[in-house]
């Protein structure tokens, strides 16, 4: 496992000056309810979304019909920018996990924004972190992968510890079967995480970090 278990994959908001993020969020905002789709796989990249509230999940549908949960994103993230790189189409769906709010920024305006603020490198760094996150989702034993995924979910959310999330979705994310997730949850124990049918609650961030060899205290 990576040794940066306690270090979140930083959002765009953390990579740019505060005034730059504020500029993005001045665009008209839209509200999305839980389980509503924000961006659709295969559609043209006409805009990006600057997420200011709530949590989303990034899900890709494969040609064989299977769904893969790629990542979780929280406030401060930019969504849909990859489809703007070469005029391509979106590679995945983005679904709201909770009530979300996001500013809709037209593609042309976002391109000008990137040039004006010299954000080519920060965006490349963000893409690199996201790729690393997806790669490491399959590293280590099942309970270690699960601990890492839950830590990143907590950190992406800004400290939230209770999520509308099922075992099958977690299984998709870390590349194992549902039964393996159930066994891993049991191994982690209620002192670290409690799972019901449709909800996951992290009871100890410190406990999850200790699974990965990290410090006990936050």
128 vs 215, more confident: 128
151 vs 138, more confident: 151
pLDDT of the residue at 8: 46
Reported as a pLDDT band with limits 50, 70 and 90, residue 10 is low
Query: Distance (Å, rounded) from C-alpha 172 to C-alpha 217?
Result: 30
* Integer-rounded Cα radius of gyration of the chain: 17
pLDDT of the residue at 135: 72
Q: For all residues of the chain together, what is the average pLDDT? A: 87
Tell me the average pLDDT across 123-137.
78
Task: Reply yes or no on whether the pLDDT at 123 is more than 90.
Answer: no
Q: 151 — phi, psi (to 5°)? A: -60, -45
**pLDDT, tens digit, for every residue of 35-87?**
999 999 999 999 999 999 999 999 998 888 888 888 899 999 999 988 887 66
Q: Supply the pTM of this predicted model.
A: 0.83
Task: Reply yes or no on whether the pLDDT at 180 is more than 70.
Answer: yes
88 vs 40, more confident: 40
Residue-range domains of the chain with CATH: 12-126 (2.60.120.10), 137-211 (1.10.10.10)
Q: What is the dihedral of CA 29, 34, 36, 42, to 10 degrees?
A: 90
Query: Distance (Å, rounded) from C-alpha 70 to C-alpha 62?
Result: 12
Task: Reply yes or no on whether the pLDDT at 4 is more than 50.
Answer: no
């Amino acid at each position: 496992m990576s040794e940066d278990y306690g270090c979140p994959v930083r959002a765009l908001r953390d990579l740019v000056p505060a005034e730059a993020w504020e500029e993005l969020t001045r665009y008209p905002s839209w509200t999305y309810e839980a389980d509503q789709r924000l961006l659709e796989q295969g559609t043209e990249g006409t805009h990006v979304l600057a997420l200011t509230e709530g949590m989303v999940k990034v899900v890709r549908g494969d040609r064989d019909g299977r769904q893969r949960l790629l990542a979780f994103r929280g406030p401060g993230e930019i969504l849909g920018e990859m489809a703007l790189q070469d005029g391509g189409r979106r590679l995945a769906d983005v679904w709201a996990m909770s009530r979300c709010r996001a500013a809709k920024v037209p593609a042309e305006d976002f391109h000008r924004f990137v040039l004006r603020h010299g954000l080519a490198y920060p965006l490349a760094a963000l893409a690199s972190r996201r790729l690393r996150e997806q790669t490491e989702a399959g590293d280590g034993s099942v309970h270690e992968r699960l601990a890492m995924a839950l830590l990143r979910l907590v950190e992406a959310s800004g400290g939230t510890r209770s999520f509308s999330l099922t075992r099958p979705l977690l299984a998709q994310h870390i590349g194992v079967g549902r039964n393996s997730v159930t066994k891993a949850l049991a191994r982690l124990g209620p002192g670290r995480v409690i799972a019901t049918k449709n909800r996951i609650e992290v009871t100890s961030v410190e406990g999850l970090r200790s699974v990965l060899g990290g410090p006990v205290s936050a």
